[in-house]
Amino acid sequence: MPLTPYVGPPSIGPAAAGPRSTLPELAEALGKAARTGSLALAQGVQLKTEQLHALAEAIGEPLSPVALPPTKAIEVVTEVSVDGAIAVNAGWHHDQSFMASPPDWSLLYCQHASSSSEATVFADGCGVLQFVSDGLLDVLRTLRLRHSAYYPSPDGEGAKEVAGAVHPLIVEVEGGGEAMFGAPATAAGIVGWTEPESNLLLQYLFTRLNWPEICVTHRWTKGDLLLWPNRRYAHRVLPLEGASTRSMYRVVGIWES
């Protein structure tokens, strides 16, 4: 299958709806843009938690997470707030990739951000494949990657795997073409390969997630609502110096058939 010509870096485009749009209008604009492979942004949005759930239902079918850190409740609308400094980069990941049927889309809503330094960076998995040879791409199309979620055990005895699934390493995505579906935070190895072999190839691929040619950064402000195709874009939080507060909510889901 030929790759779709890549014209990166990706961009975050405004959805064709304003702050005064109704929930159905906002959902239609965001969903239409994301289905073309875009990161779709609406700004100046004022929503309560129950309205965010309703918006997600208008976009598609919201999913309940299968695993979250022990401090968070398993709910459709998940609070992912930050309070304090972020010392290191949060690992690259696709939301809930360790589900048997991973979400098609992810949505983040910012109720409050203490400064413009609050940022999330996105890497386009389609772009990763533009920087590998045709021969390697042929191999990648045959591989399957195990995704796992590890969280601290309740008894304090280290980390425990709480969810896991296997998916093709290369998948067809919104916008046409193929993308790498896998990221360091949840990658647990290539099926049928030894750990050294798997680590060597995955490290080679995952370093490309940091290339500016395929990345775009969004700096959050109050009322931002961002929707993106989950399998196409890996994302991570940038580190912050000093105290910081950010009130964020996440919803994941699948497109309506």
28-70 pLDDT, tens digit each: 999 999 999 999 999 999 999 899 999 999 999 999 988 776 6
**Measured in whole angstroms, how far is the alpha carbon of residue 209 from the centre of its chain?**
13
Which residues of the chain are modeled with pLDDT < 70? 1-9, 16-20, 69-70, 82-90, 116-117, 152-161, 240-243, 257
Single-letter residue type at 116: S
**What pLDDT shows up at residue 1?**
43
Query: Which CATH superfamily is 12-255 part of?
Result: Clavaminate synthase-like (3.60.130.10)
Structure tokens given for 79: 């609070």
The beta strand positions in 140-205, using DSSP E, are 144-152, 159-168, 170-172, 178-180, 187-190
CB atoms closer than 10 angstroms to residue 38: 22
CB atoms closer than 10 angstroms to residue 107: 28
CA distance 196 to 21: 52
Whole-model pTM? 0.89
**What pLDDT shows up at residue 73?**
75
Residue with tokens 């996105």: 122
